[in-house]
Amino acid sequence: MTQLAEIKVENALESHRYARGWHCLGDADQYRDGKPHTLDIFGTRLVAFATSDGKINILDAFCPHMGADLSHGTVEDDRVVCPFHHWKYDAGGKCVEVPYCKRIPPKAKTKKWLTCEENNLLFVWNNPEGNPPREGVVIPHLPEMDSDEWIHEWNIDIMRIDTNPRELVDNLVDAHHFGPVHGTPTSYFSNIFEGHIGHQIFRGDSEHLGGGLAADSAYYGPATHFTRINSNFGGVEVHAILLNSHVPVTPNSFDLRFGCMVKRVAGMSDEQTRQIALDYVVGNRNSFYQDVIIWKNKIRIDKPVLAETDGPVYQLREWYQQFFMNEDQVPASMAERREIVTVALSKP
């Protein structure tokens, strides 16, 4: 690559804007092991660590002193310790100790990121404008988390996918790829867009997830997708909640997390039910890999030529674009409810 080409790539990365919204980082408890955790997301590196009260904190990872990686350091007394010169930073990102100097430079601090925990999952907030989420822009609490009828384990799987996240989000409205790609004929399919939430209602049959498949799902912002799904899986009626969440790493790569939480099955032990959950994760992973193969060999089409019943692709992309613009520029029409039915061979 020539020097000019390298500069162009560098400038493109610097000018790229990552979506405003909550992004899922997986099971919260995995960060409570007393160690710093490396997060390569949003085109930079962050560090996550828990304090003794169990709260998980996320900071910019590069020490403002000499640029060392705090995520390669240690956690001591609720502070993350730089591996280079042992400067210590508290949960707010402020340097509170320089071991060889009494005076701490006033600028010795690193950015703290807003986090939340919901449904046993950790989320980080990204907003290029630096503002917190507006009222109502939340990850919803799933009532199943309060029920003893459900096993509260997500069984999360993670994969790195080298494409722009919009390719994944497009699936929210793509009713006609389920048959050709996933062997899942669609009998009913519709979408609802309202504010920061995009819904999908799907009915059909799946080679991987069983017959009589009913799936009601929604994106809460640009990156966190929950699906309530019921189907006959291996002769057993399975009720599950799927997590499908992605976090951008670079403009053209993201980490995709799948989770599956299942309802206890009458007559089965928790261990047997957990195995169903794991099998569900495998089935979903196999389905996503069918998409990944397509993504790896396609180009990005910003203005697709659509057939009459292709669904609300342009409406989806308009909805998705709101997360990449300043909030005061988001059209008021985004708050209005819009429902589009694409396939209606049966009732939802």
Extents of the domains making up the chain: 19-126, 143-344
3 state SS for 119-173 = CCEEEEEECCCCCCCCCCCCCCCCHHHHCCCECCCCCCEEEEECCCCHHHHHHHC
What pLDDT is recorded for position 3?
Answer: 43
303 bridge partner residues: none
What pLDDT is recorded for position 15?
Answer: 56
pLDDT at 261 over 50: yes
Angle at alpha carbon of residue 60, lines to 58 and 65, rounded to 5°? 135
279: pLDDT confidence band, cut at 50, 70 and 90? confident
118 bridge partner residues: 121
Query: Contact 34/265 with Cβ under 8 angstroms?
Result: no
What pLDDT is recorded for position 258?
Answer: 87
pTM of the model: 0.91
16 to each of 23, 133, 145, 250, 298, how far by Cα in Å?
17, 21, 37, 9, 21
Cα–Cα nearest to 183, from 158, 215, 213: 213
pLDDT at 206 over 70: no
5: pLDDT confidence band, cut at 50, 70 and 90? very low
Mean pLDDT on 109-137: 98
What pLDDT is recorded for position 211?
Answer: 57
Question: What CATH architecture applies to the domain 19-126?
Answer: 3-layer Sandwich (2.102)
What pLDDT is recorded for position 12?
Answer: 41
209: pLDDT confidence band, cut at 50, 70 and 90? low
Phi-psi region of 67 (alpha: psi -120 to 50; beta: other; left: phi over 0): left
pLDDT at 207 over 60: no
CATH superfamily name and code, 143-344: Naphthalene 1,2-dioxygenase Alpha Subunit; Chain A, domain 1 (3.90.380.10)
Give the whole-angstrom CA distance, residue 65 versus residue 293: 43
pLDDT at 219 over 90: yes
- The three-state secondary structure class of 73 is coil
What pLDDT is recorded for position 233?
Answer: 67
- The three-state secondary structure class of 31 is helix
Give the whole-angstrom CA distance, residue 73 versus residue 35: 8
What pLDDT is recorded for position 235?
Answer: 73
Percent above pLDDT 70 for the chain: 93
pLDDT at 9 over 60: no
Residue with the bigger pLDDT between 233 and 96: it is 96
Contacting residues for 310 by C-beta, under 8 A, at least 6 apart: 176, 304, 342
Residue with the bigger pLDDT between 328 and 272: it is 328
Cα–Cα nearest to 42, from 324, 251, 221: 251
Domains 19-126 and 143-344 agree in fold = no
Percent above pLDDT 90 for the chain: 70
